[in-house]
Chains A and B, each alone.
Chain A
Amino acid sequence: MSRESLLELQHVSKRYVMGEATLDALKDVNLTIYRNEYVAFIGPSGSGKTTLMNIVGCLDKPSSGSYILNDTPVADLDDNALARIRNREIGFIFQNFNLLGRADALRNVMQPLIYRGIPLSERKHMATETLQNVGLGDRLHHLPNQLSGGQRQRVAIARALVGKPSILLADEPTGNLDSSTGRDVMAMFDNLHKNGHTIIIVTHDQNIANHCRRVVRLMDGQVLSDTDNVAKVGNQEAMRRV
Chain B
Amino acid sequence: MYNLLESLRSAFQSIRAHALRSFLTTLGIIIAVMSVITVVSLIQGFSQSVTSIFSKMGANGLLITSEETTEDYLAGKVVKITPDDLQAIQHQITGISKITPVLILAGNGSGAVQYGDQTAYSSIYGTTSSHASNSSFYPVMGRYLTPSDDFSHRRVAVIGQTLLKDLDLPKDPIGQYIGMFGQWFKIIGVLKKLGTIAGQDQDDRIYMPYGTAHSLLGASKVPDIQIDLEVNDLKDIDSVAGRITELLRRQHNLKPGQDNDFQVQTSAQVTGTINKIFNMITLVLGGIVSISLLVGGIGIMNIMLVSVTERTREIGICKSLGARRSDILLQFLIEAVTLSLIGGIIGLLLGYGIGMLVAHLVPQFLGAHVPWWAVVLSFGFACGIGVVFGIAPAAKAASLNPIDALRYE
**Besides A86-B320, A100-B318, A114-B327, 16 new A-B residue pairs in contact (Cβ under 8 A), listed by A number:** A54-B403, A59-B403, A59-B406, A80-B325, A86-B321, A86-B322, A88-B322, A94-B406, A98-B320, A100-B317, A111-B321, A112-B322, A114-B6, A115-B318, A115-B323, A117-B2
Confirm or deny: A204 has a beta carbon within 8 angstroms of a beta carbon on chain B.
no
A83 to chain B, nearest CB (A): 4
Pair B406/A87 contact, Cβ less than 8 Å: no
In the complex, what distance in Å separates the CA atom of A13 from the CA atom of B313? 27
- Give the interface centre of B14, B320, B323, B324 by most chain A CB atoms within 10 Å: B320
* 7 shortest interchain CB distances as A-B pairs: A87-B322, A112-B321, A115-B322, A83-B324, A86-B322, A102-B17, A80-B324
Confirm or deny: A60 has a beta carbon within 8 angstroms of a beta carbon on chain B.
yes
Instruction: Say whether, besides A54-B403, A59-B402, A114-B6, A98 and B324 are in contact (CB < 8 Å).
Output: no
Contact with A along B322-348 (1 / 0, CB 8 A): 111111000000000000000000000
Confirm or deny: A159 has a beta carbon within 8 angstroms of a beta carbon on chain B.
yes
Nearest chain A residue, comparing its CB with the CB of B325:
A79
Confirm or deny: B302 has a beta carbon within 8 angstroms of a beta carbon on chain A.
no
In the complex, what distance in Å separates the CA atom of A92 from the CA atom of B406? 12
Pair A111/B2 contact, Cβ less than 8 Å: no
A171 to chain B, nearest CB (A): 10
Confirm or deny: B85 has a beta carbon within 8 angstroms of a beta carbon on chain A.
no
Pair B321/A84 contact, Cβ less than 8 Å: no
B390 to chain A, nearest CB (A): 19
Contact with B along A71-114 (1 / 0, CB 8 A): 00000000110011011100010100011111100000001101
Q: Which residues does A use to contact B, with CB under 8 Å?
A: 54, 57, 59-60, 79-80, 83-84, 86-88, 92, 94, 98-103, 111-112, 114-117, 159, 163
Which one of B17, B327, B402 lies within 8 Å of A115 (CB-CB)? B327
A59 to chain B, nearest CB (A): 5
Nearest chain A residue, comparing its CB with the CB of B327:
A115
Pair B314/A100 contact, Cβ less than 8 Å: yes
Pair A60/B403 contact, Cβ less than 8 Å: yes
Contacts of B17 in A (CB 8 A): 102
In the complex, what distance in Å separates the CA atom of A103 from the CA atom of B12? 12
B32 to chain A, nearest CB (A): 29
Count of B residues near A, CB < 8 Å? 22
Q: List 12 A-B contacts (CB under 8 A).
A: A60-B403, A83-B324, A86-B320, A87-B322, A92-B320, A98-B316, A99-B317, A100-B318, A103-B13, A112-B322, A115-B321, A163-B322
Nearest chain B residue, comparing its CB with the CB of A88:
B322
Contacts of B316 in A (CB 8 A): 98
Instruction: Say whether, besides A102-B17, A117-B2, A79 and B320 are in contact (CB < 8 Å).
Output: no
Confirm or deny: B369 has a beta carbon within 8 angstroms of a beta carbon on chain A.
no
Contacts of B131 in A (CB 8 A): none
Confirm or deny: B319 has a beta carbon within 8 angstroms of a beta carbon on chain A.
yes
In the complex, what distance in Å separates the CA atom of A112 from the CA atom of B323? 8
Contacts of A57 in B (CB 8 A): 320
Contact with A along B290-316 (1 / 0, CB 8 A): 000000000000000000000001101
Nearest chain B residue, comparing its CB with the CB of A91:
B321
In the complex, what distance in Å separates the CA atom of A112 from the CA atom of B317? 10
In the complex, what distance in Å separates the CA atom of A70 from the CA atom of B321? 18
In the complex, what distance in Å separates the CA atom of A33 from the CA atom of B325? 30
Contacts of A59 in B (CB 8 A): 319-320, 402-403, 406
B20 to chain A, nearest CB (A): 15
Which one of B14, B313, B323 lies within 8 Å of A98 (CB-CB)? B313
Contacts of B402 in A (CB 8 A): 59
A217 to chain B, nearest CB (A): 23
Nearest chain A residue, comparing its CB with the CB of B13:
A102
Contacts of A115 in B (CB 8 A): 318, 321-324, 327
In the complex, what distance in Å separates the CA atom of A239 from the CA atom of B101? 122
A14 to chain B, nearest CB (A): 11
Contacts of A100 in B (CB 8 A): 314, 317-318
In the complex, what distance in Å separates the CA atom of A111 from the CA atom of B6? 10
Pair B317/A98 contact, Cβ less than 8 Å: yes
In the complex, what distance in Å separates the CA atom of A68 from the CA atom of B325? 23
A169 to chain B, nearest CB (A): 10
Pair B321/A159 contact, Cβ less than 8 Å: yes
In the complex, what distance in Å separates the CA atom of A188 from the CA atom of B353? 61
Instruction: Say whether, besides A98-B317, A117-B2, A79 and B324 are in contact (CB < 8 Å).
Output: yes
In the complex, what distance in Å separates the CA atom of A235 from the CA atom of B115? 125
